[in-house]
């Protein structure tokens, strides 16, 4: 598939490594409920995620940022989610085994996410001891699909984009990989389906985590 040697795997977090949807829904609906606003379904939250929590709340709150109560709702959401980001969240089946397999094979790994950085650090430390670097939403970085977090991860790992591949579940991830100059592996267990991903340019798909090792093997063949 390529004449370049892949040594590094950059992962998205929500919808790729972790199923975080239930906790996000609960936090969104808690904030909406406190402020007397209509709650959202799991399906709606699934469509709203991917561009960071502020954009999630812009989509969830009636009239978005135009709503005079928006900042209050957003603050309530952030406080609640910070305390409850791990109530129902879990690693997708096969992910821990995949990460251990990649570590054993000598791959460097990083997580880049539009989730609040403190939550990214907490969840990475809790679930993914195999991952070397985790980068969330920080004030000094433009969030995905800008390539900043991916390029910072590569810099901290001491690797180049020519030896890296990106793994994600969404259109934002496809755009992030393209902007960073990386090939993208699209996972089909996350928040977007195959048809949607194809429409946004996806070329490489996996249905189960361990299939990523086969893709990497083919890339390095």
* Residue 2 confidence (pLDDT) above 70: no
In this prediction, residue 119 carries a pLDDT of 85
Q: Which residue reads 């598939």 in tokens? A: 1
Reference 107, options 160, 185, 148, 164; nearest CA is: 164
Question: Looking at residue 119, which CATH number applies to its domain?
Answer: 3.40.50.1000
pLDDT in tens, 8-60: 999 999 999 999 999 999 999 999 999 999 999 999 999 998 788 899 999 99
Residue 126: inside a domain: yes
Reference 187, options 164, 210, 219; nearest CA is: 210
Q: What are phi and psi of 135, to 5 degrees?
A: -130, 125
Residues 170-175, mean pLDDT to the nearest whole number = 96
What CA–CA distances, in Å, run from 102 to 1, 6, 90, 169?
Answer: 19, 12, 20, 19
Query: CB within 8 A of 83, min separation 6: which ones?
Result: none
Residues 148-175, mean pLDDT to the nearest whole number = 97
Question: Looking at residue 32, which CATH number applies to its domain?
Answer: 1.10.150.240
pLDDT in tens, 96-135: 999 999 999 999 999 999 988 988 998 999 999 999 999 9
Residue 1: inside a domain: no
Domains in the chain, number: 2
Residue 5 per-residue DSSP state: P
Q: What angle do CA 15, 198, 201 make, to 5 degrees?
A: 95
In this prediction, residue 166 carries a pLDDT of 98
Q: Indicate if 99 and 196 belong to the same structural domain.
A: yes
- Quote the domain boundaries for residue 52: 21-84
Q: How far apart are CA 77 and CA 31, in angstroms?
A: 5
User: How does 156-195 read in b/e, with b if 16+ C-beta sit within 10 Å?
Assistant: ebebebebbbbbbbbbbbbbbbbebebbbbbbebbbbeee
pTM: 0.91
CB 90 within 8 A of CB 14: no
């Amino acid at each position: 598939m390529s004449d370049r040697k892949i040594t590094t795997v950059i992962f998205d977090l929500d919808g790729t490594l972790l199923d975080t949807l239930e906790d996000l829904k609960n936090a969104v609906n808690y904030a909406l409920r406190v402020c007397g606003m209509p709650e959202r379904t799991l399906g709606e939250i699934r469509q709203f995620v991917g561009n960071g929590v502020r954009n999630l709340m812009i989509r969830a709150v009636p009239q978005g940022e135009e709503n005079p109560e928006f900042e209050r709702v957003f603050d309530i959401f952030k406080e609640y989610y910070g305390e409850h980001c791990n109530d129902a969240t879990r690693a997708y089946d096969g992910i821990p085994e995949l990460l251990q397999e990649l570590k054993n094979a000598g791959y460097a790994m990083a997580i880049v996410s539009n989730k609040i950085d403190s939550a990214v650090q907490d969840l990475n430390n809790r679930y993914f001891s195999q991952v070397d670097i985790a980068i969330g939403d920080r004030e000094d970085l433009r969030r995905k699909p800008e390539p900043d977090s991916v390029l910072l991860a590569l810099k901290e790992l001491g690797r180049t984009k020519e030896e890296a591949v990106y793994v994600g579940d969404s259109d934002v991830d496809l755009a992030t990989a393209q902007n960073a100059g990386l090939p993208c592996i699209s996972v089909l267990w996350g928040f977007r389906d195959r048809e949607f991903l194809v429409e946004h340019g996806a070329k490489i798909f996996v249905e189960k985590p361990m299939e990523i090792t086969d893709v990497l093997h083919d890339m390095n063949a």
